[in-house]
């Protein structure tokens, strides 16, 4: 596995396409700059990136799109999924697979095994900002995790939930050594109805985001931050809410999370935005499966980064990941408001079901590592991605 991570970095130096060539330029290429094509003309998650790049001003788009340094990790997040092949089964009754997409996250039930990841500044895409994400998540019955650096305040985001109190939100947090402010933040999140806290730990320092710096759109968190396992133990005494750890990139740290009684971890490299050459979530999940597969049964493991297709979700689920986070595509879909985010969610649900059916799964919950080849296909990668 260590060799594969090195080889993956080498592959990232080849020409890269941010979106695949699926004919969108041929059909929608005459869309005027600053305008959006009709929503019903977008057929998959990469299309929202294409549309947003033409609609948003350059600095706002760059804030969502940028990665760290040379953006090798950003590229690798997208490309890693294509280096692993499926092992499909045939002659299986798959007619009921759409009814098997539901999952539970920390004991809360949702309609699909994916969620909206915490992303800052939704207001750059739409005036209603995070309200659209809250409403779309509710309509589609999936989890949304607002960012602490949202365009709206925590109170405003909570106010967008339905009055019946049925919607489950988690709250993402960045923390420092100010225990008084931390306790106040935890209490506020609980009072507003958040069911869990998601502590981002892979941003201990500001990222070297060269693309973003050109537009003066750097990281919202720029200080060196005090984050240790002893500090996490102290945090657990400051709230009754479960504290999920986001930003795990190695099997060693998953083991430590189990030792420190974390309820769940998120495998993530911050969308390739903080430390370039950090591994993709798929590579991290594969490392866990190869070196300590029992961890998938000892703690809930989620993952986010580079997911653009139902097939990407399936590969993570096959290795043992419980739920998959998607960030940028939903931020780009937010240029269309609630309807855009909702349609993107529906499209991903459909892709998971269709791809799962073609993989030979009658029940998504029965997916396992035997459905994925665990050897990377380096020779075919360049042909597949251009």
Annotated binding site: 63, 118-120, 147, 172, 174, 200, 209, 246, 268, 270, 273, 304-308, 327-328
Annotated binding site for glyoxylate: 63, 174, 209, 270, 273
CA angle 307, 93, 309 (to 5 degrees): 10
SS3 137: helix
Instruction: Give the residue numbers marked as catalytic.
Output: 270
SS3 305: coil
Q: By the 8 A CB rule, do 147 and 120 touch?
A: yes
Q: How many CA atoms lie within 13 A of 95 on its CB side?
A: 2
Annotated binding site for FMN: 118-120, 147, 172, 200, 246, 268, 304-308, 327-328
Instruction: Please give the backbone phi and psi of residue 235, each rounded to the nearest 5 degrees, phi first.
Output: -60, -35
Which residues have a Cβ under 8 Å from the Cβ of 220 and sit 6 or more positions away? 120, 121, 149
Using alpha carbons, list the distances in angstroms from residue 19 to 16, 78, 122, 211.
9, 9, 21, 18
Indicate the helix (H) or strand (E) that contains 318: helix 310-319
CA distance 330 to 129: 12
Q: By the 8 A CB rule, do 200 and 174 touch?
A: yes
């Amino acid at each position: 596995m260590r060799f594969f991570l090195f080889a993956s970095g080498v592959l990232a130096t080849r020409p890269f396409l941010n979106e695949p060539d699926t004919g969108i330029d041929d059909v929608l290429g005459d869309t005027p700059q600053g305008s959006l094509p009709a929503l019903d003309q977008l057929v998959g998650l990469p299309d929202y990136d294409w549309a947003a790049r033409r609609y948003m001003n350059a600095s706002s788009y760059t804030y969502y799109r940028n990665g760290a340094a040379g953006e090798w990790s950003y590229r690798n997040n997208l490309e890693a999924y294509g280096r692993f092949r499926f092992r499909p089964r045939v002659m299986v009754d798959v007619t009921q697979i759409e009814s098997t997409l539901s999952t539970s996250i920390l004991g809360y039930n949702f309609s699909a095994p994916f969620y909206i990841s915490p992303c800052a500044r939704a207001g750059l895409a739409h005036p209603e900002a995070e309200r659209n994400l809250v409403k779309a998540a509710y309509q589609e019955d999936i989890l949304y995790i607002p960012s602490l650096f949202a365009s709206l305040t925590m109170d405003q985001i909570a106010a967008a939930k339905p009055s019946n109190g049925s919607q489950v939100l988690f709250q993402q947090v960045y923390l420092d050594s100010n225990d008084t402010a931390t306790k106040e933040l935890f209490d506020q999140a609980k009072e507003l109805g958040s069911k869990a806290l998601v502590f981002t730990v892979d941003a201990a320092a500001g990222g070297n985001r060269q693309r973003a710096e050109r537009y003066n759109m750097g990281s919202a968190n720029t200080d060196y931050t005090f984050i240790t396992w002893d500090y996490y133990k102290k945090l657990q005494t400051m709230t009754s809410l479960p504290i999920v750890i986001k930003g795990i990139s190695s099997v060693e740290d998953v083991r430590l999370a189990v030792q420190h009684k974390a309820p769940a971890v998120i495998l993530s490299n911050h969308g390739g935005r903080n430390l370039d050459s950090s591994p993709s979530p798929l590579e991290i999940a594969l490392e866990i499966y190869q070196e300590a597969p029992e961890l998938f049964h000892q703690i809930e493991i989620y993952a986010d980064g580079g997911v653009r297709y139902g097939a990407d979700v399936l590969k993570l689920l096959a290795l043992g990941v419980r739920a998959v986070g998607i960030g940028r595509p939903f931020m780009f879909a937010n240029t269309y408001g609630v309807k855009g985010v909702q349609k993107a969610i529906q499209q991903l649900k459909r892709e998971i079901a269709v791809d799962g059916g073609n993989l030979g799964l009658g029940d998504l919950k029965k997916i396992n590592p035997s459905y994925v080849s665990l050897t990377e296909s380096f020779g075919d990668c360049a042909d597949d991605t251009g």
